[in-house]
Amino acid sequence: MNDFDDSADYDLDTLAIRAGTQRSQFGEHSEALFLTSSFVFESAAQAERRFVGGEEGMVYARFSNPTVDMLQKRLAALEGGEACVATASGMAAILSVCMGLLKAGDHVVASNSLFGSSIQFFNAYMSKFGVTTSYVEASSIEAYQAALTPATRMIFVETPSNPLTQLVDIAALSRVAKAAGVLLVVDNCFCSPALQQPLKLGADLVVHSATKYLDGQGRVLGGAVVGSKALLEEVLRFLRTAGPSISPFNAWVILKGLETLNIRMQAQSANALAVAQWLEAQPGIERVFYPGLPSHPQYELARSQQLSGGAIVAFEVKGGKDEAWRVVDSTRMLSITANLGDTRTTITHPATTTHGRISPEARAAAGIHDNLLRLAVGLESVSDIIADLQRGLAA
């Protein structure tokens, strides 16, 4: 039996398919799904060693599970991290990082262009436990620097941001974070490790919503944190105690999704670029936000930091909410849903969905206008996607 050598220097395509694979005594070719909540021991003495004696091995699925372990090893390899902790969802990953590494009195500096639930999480919940958060202009390194206080423990960013695709220069921000002795956490949801590896650019931790591109087919919820063993020890302790652990079934689905991650990301990025170029040429469009277009203010940074522009295109239509909704409601094929990272193209009106529950002031600060739409471009034919958008724009 030819076991995969995780320590060898393999390319991303190979790691995405083979890293982390652990075979049972049956020698199954495809990764097995271990649907078991607990594990048995050979003896009372072994149970003691597993629980308190530091012996490696499975105990209980809130702690560990072989299928989950394979996902964690594979994602760690893809991100170039020492270790990975998989979680029940992307928000559970962010929760676990904050609960594991922050305490009352700590301060977080965050990008003002985060995923809506992330902003809600910091404002409504971390604040209840005495952790304060300051938001700064997403792409301004000076703004992060200026917002640091002696209590700052963490900088939290997404790049590209959701939905405006603002970029953060990860290498530059990591120098600011290191000089101040604070952790840099990057939500790598939009790029996935196929397009961007923040740890290699100096980030301390990467968080993922595996619900998005890692599964890639809109089937299950999942999340992950990747980074050094030392940092992840605290995150893992919280997860094992509090229990936002991933289901082995979901972990197995995501493992299967990872096998096609790179090929999907490349194809969806190519589709997105074509759609973005077409949108930019339409008279009914005010503005297009796509890091792969030369008109993007951070086009050069995108070229150096990401392998492509990614699959998310945001655009403002001429007019307001009515005109934006007309584009959404004129589609016949695109999915009207807030999810992204799927093979099916989705269209969303952020102001009334993903960012609908934050205050109008916070929404304005994040630059989410009523005429903004977000497309998460999938794998359908580009001409069919364009034809579906054309209808609403022509109306």
Ligand X SMILES: *Cc1c(COP(=O)(O)O)cnc(C)c1O
Binding site for ligand X (CB under 6 A): 89-91, 115, 117-118, 158, 162, 187, 189, 209, 211-212, 221, 223
- Does residue 258 contact residue 214 with C-beta atoms inside 8 Å? yes
Q: Which is nearer to ligand X, 169 or 187 (CB)?
A: 187
Least CB distance from residue 194 to ligand X, whole Å? 16
Closest residue by Cα to residue 226 from 349, 341, 363, 71: 71
Q: Which is nearer to ligand X, 65 or 118 (CB)?
A: 118
Least CB distance from residue 162 to ligand X, whole Å? 5
Least CB distance from residue 313 to ligand X, whole Å? 15
Q: Which is nearer to ligand X, 187 or 370 (CB)?
A: 187
Q: Which is nearer to ligand X, 89 or 165 (CB)?
A: 89
Q: Which is nearer to ligand X, 209 or 298 (CB)?
A: 209
Closest residue by Cα to residue 234 from 170, 128, 153: 153
Q: Which is nearer to ligand X, 351 or 393 (CB)?
A: 351
* Residues whose CB is less than 8 angstroms from the CB of residue 317 and which lie 6 or more positions away in sequence, other chains included: 284, 285, 286, 323, 324, 327, 371, 373, 393
**Distance separating alpha carbons of residues 130 and 148, to the nearest angstrom:** 17
What is the CA angle 161-116-245, rounded to 5?
95
Q: Which is nearer to ligand X, 46 or 117 (CB)?
A: 117
Least CB distance from residue 304 to ligand X, whole Å? 21
CA atoms within 13 A on the CB side of 16: 21
Please report, in angstroms and rounded to a whole number, the separation of the first and last CA atoms in the chain: 61
The SS3 assignment for 160 reads coil
Least CB distance from residue 114 to ligand X, whole Å? 7
Least CB distance from residue 220 to ligand X, whole Å? 9
Which residue's beta carbon is nearest to the bound ligand X? 90
The two three-digit tokens of residue 77, written as one number: 């390899």
Least CB distance from residue 216 to ligand X, whole Å? 13
The region that residue 206 occupies, defined by phi over 0 for left and psi between -120 and 50 for alpha, beta otherwise, is beta
Torsion of the alpha carbons at 215, 217, 218 and 224, rounded to the nearest 10: 10
